[in-house]
Amino acid sequence: MAELAKTSYTGRSKIYCDEKEITAENVAAVLSSALQFHATNSTQINYLYNYRRGMQPILDRTKAVRPEICNKIVENRADEIVSFKTGYLCGEPLQYVSRGSTEAISAGIQKLNDYMMLIGKASLDKKLAEWMYTCGTGYRITLPNKPYAKNVEDGIKPDPDEAPFRSFMLDPRYSFVVYYSGLDERAVLGVKYITKQDKSVIYSAWTESEYFELSQTDGAFAITYKESHAYRMVPIVEYPLNSMRLGAFEVVLGLLDAINTVHSNRIDGIEQFIQSLIVLYNAEIDEATAASLRAAGLIQLKSSETLKSDIKILSETLDQMNTQTLVDYMYQTVLDIVGMPNRNGGSSTSDTGLAVQLRDGWSSAEARAKSDEIEYKDAELKSNKLVLRFMRDTDGTPLSLSDIETKFTRRIYEGLVAKSQVYATLIASGVPPKLACVVSCLFSDPADAAKQIEEFAVQKKAEEAAALEAQAKLAQAKTPADATPKGADANA
């Protein structure tokens, strides 16, 4: 671990090849070349993964002076960073909303959300986000649910508790995607490999039209299985956190190690103060007694300047106040760099919601999350392309990619009063309900909300008309047909 800690961590490398199309003739050569780059990525990913688990360089600490007092304190801020960012981005399930206005599209969106619930997509998204924030990238594979498709093909009603597709998160230490080095940089090969109990390695490789299984013997790859598929794209999709594929805490590894070192030294200082050395001046004791006392921290000194015997305790305390100032500075710097809110709090006469967000760093956390959303949505678009193809092959969905928008609903309940006021003002100004829903950000699915609002308005008008008609009939029934108007006799 100590050697790995000296490595410069600047993100993961994107793997390229010069082949426009991967076939049985060149898949082994492309895989062999790609594995050389993946080996470096995998080693670094494994280090960052273990770092988050608490296996940090401070555990290899040694001391030359008083080596018996050598505390190794791990203050695992890396896990704190990953856990916060994962919860902030995917604390609420992602939702697909409609970008169209037809009944068929709305029904298709509802079915898509139902399928995503059945495959447990919220949990899968959380696992994917954890990998993204830990090592800078993550991988999702989407495949057809063959039993579901077989039932549809045979005219048998499929299980209502299953979806026509399956989705899995892949371990980026054992998975990667190879991109064409041309202008479009499209994915041409997706690879996942496993090590069996007999130590043999099986490589599963997907191209845009074929699936291969390969084994390696004496450094040479051989195809052991091959079949065609109709996905028309690589089913493994990479979800990079950013263009450099940097993890969330990767840029502050030095500061995190320094915090561990300072805390370990602080505990050493306290322990060394308690176990202070005893200094014996110009006193004669037998060797056996001196040896036993030396193990307990005794130092014997003789001085020619004085014959006076003395015994003292040699101790020095660490300045905890200045040390804490240094720790607070380093931790605040970590929060500033990674874009996390602090825990300082504070008091002010103008502690409005917006002021607190700006002062405590929540606006920075939101800005970082929005940046992460852009990368996530771009990769999600590719995964949904596969999902829609599998749905068309079974349910015949009318949806296309342009009908779907991915929504992160983590802050949908914040600022409800202000959002409600905006919505009410727009409606009072004659703005259509759908546009008012979009502008006010009051609902996670503006199209569906506007549809329900309009349906409710129509229903309410119908109920009011029915009530007025019933009142009129009741009033007419209470009035006699030959009733004489008041004052009719006098006039006569």
Q: Which region holds residue 425: left if phi is over 0, alpha if psi is between -120 and 50, else beta?
A: alpha
Residues 95 and 242 occupy one common structural domain: yes
Given the structure tokens 């380093």, which residue do they identify?
330
Q: What is the pLDDT of residue 470?
A: 82
Q: What is the pLDDT of residue 2?
A: 46
Residues 274 and 228 occupy one common structural domain: no
CA distance 83 to 340: 11
Work out how many domains the chain is built from and give that number.
3
Does residue 379 lie in a domain region? no
Does residue 103 lie in a domain region? yes
The H-assigned helical ranges of 318-361 are 320-338, 353-359
Does residue 311 lie in a domain region? yes
Residues 234 and 85 occupy one common structural domain: yes
Residues 11 and 143 occupy one common structural domain: yes
Which domain-ending residue is among 249, 279, 305? Answer: 249
Neighbours of 221 (CB within 10 A): 19
Which domain-ending residue is among 199, 219, 249? Answer: 249
Q: Is residue 30 classed exposed, middle or buried when 0-12, 13-18 and 19+ CB atoms within 10 A define those classes?
A: buried
Does residue 243 lie in a domain region? yes
Residues 61 and 131 occupy one common structural domain: yes
Q: What is the pLDDT of residue 322?
A: 82
CA distance 163 to 166: 7
Residues 68 and 88 occupy one common structural domain: yes
Does residue 69 lie in a domain region? yes
Which domain-ending residue is among 304, 331, 353? Answer: 353
Residues 28 and 177 occupy one common structural domain: yes
CA distance 89 to 127: 12
CA distance 103 to 448: 10
Query: Tokens in use for 278?
Result: 């005893």
Q: What is the pLDDT of residue 54?
A: 94
Does residue 13 lie in a domain region? yes
Residues 37 and 186 occupy one common structural domain: yes
Residues 197 and 67 occupy one common structural domain: yes
Does residue 489 lie in a domain region? no
Does residue 386 lie in a domain region? no
From first to last of the 492 residues of the chain, give the pLDDT tens digit.
Answer: 444 445 567 899 999 999 999 999 999 999 999 999 999 999 999 999 999 999 999 999 998 877 888 889 999 999 999 999 999 999 888 888 887 667 788 888 889 999 999 999 999 999 999 999 999 999 999 999 999 988 888 888 888 899 999 999 999 999 999 999 999 899 999 999 999 988 889 999 999 999 999 998 888 899 999 999 999 999 999 999 999 999 999 999 999 999 999 999 888 777 776 565 555 555 666 666 666 555 555 555 566 555 565 556 555 556 778 888 898 999 999 999 999 988 765 555 455 555 555 566 788 888 899 999 999 999 999 999 999 999 999 988 889 999 898 888 776 556 677 778 888 888 888 888 777 777 777 776 676 677 778 778 888 888 888 888 888 888 887 766 555 555 555 454
Residues 87 and 177 occupy one common structural domain: yes
Residues 80 and 217 occupy one common structural domain: yes
| Domain ranges, residue 460 | 412-476
Residues 41 and 60 occupy one common structural domain: yes
Q: What is the pLDDT of residue 258?
A: 94
The DSSP symbol for 301 reads E
